[in-house]
Amino acid sequence: MPLLSGQITVSTAGTEVLGPDTGPGDFLIKFDSGNTGATVYVGNDGNGAVSSTTGFKLNSGDQCILSVKNLNTVYFDVETSGDKIDWLRISPLRLFVDQ
């Protein structure tokens, strides 16, 4: 059964974490309301990393939608160790074709 929701915890700020193996879909990505830090970064710089200079910035209360083949192609980082990113699959699986 595919994963439909979850949380990504970044144990050490500045050390990006790869998303879970979810399969394809549209995912709502949200800054967790229990975070003590102010910012999380979402993305992939093409070299298997994300940082404050290469990531999409989410602040408290922010959210975004990602349409990806798998969340395990996206990296997450935070400014405060232990902060979390919430995610939820919001659409059925779709066929993604490589270009």
Q: Is residue 97 a part of any domain in this protein?
A: no
Pairing type for strands 56-59 and 17-18 reads unpaired
Pull the structure tokens for residue 47.
């070299």
Quote the pTM value.
0.88
| Containing structural domain, residue 9 | 5-89
pLDDT at 44: 95
How many separate domains does the chain show? 1
pLDDT per residue as tens digits for the range 32-68 = 999 999 999 999 999 999 999 999 999 998 999 999 9
CATH number at residue 76: 2.60.120
SS3 71: helix
Examine the pLDDT at 3 and tell me if it is beyond 90.
no
Question: Mean pLDDT in the chain?
Answer: 91
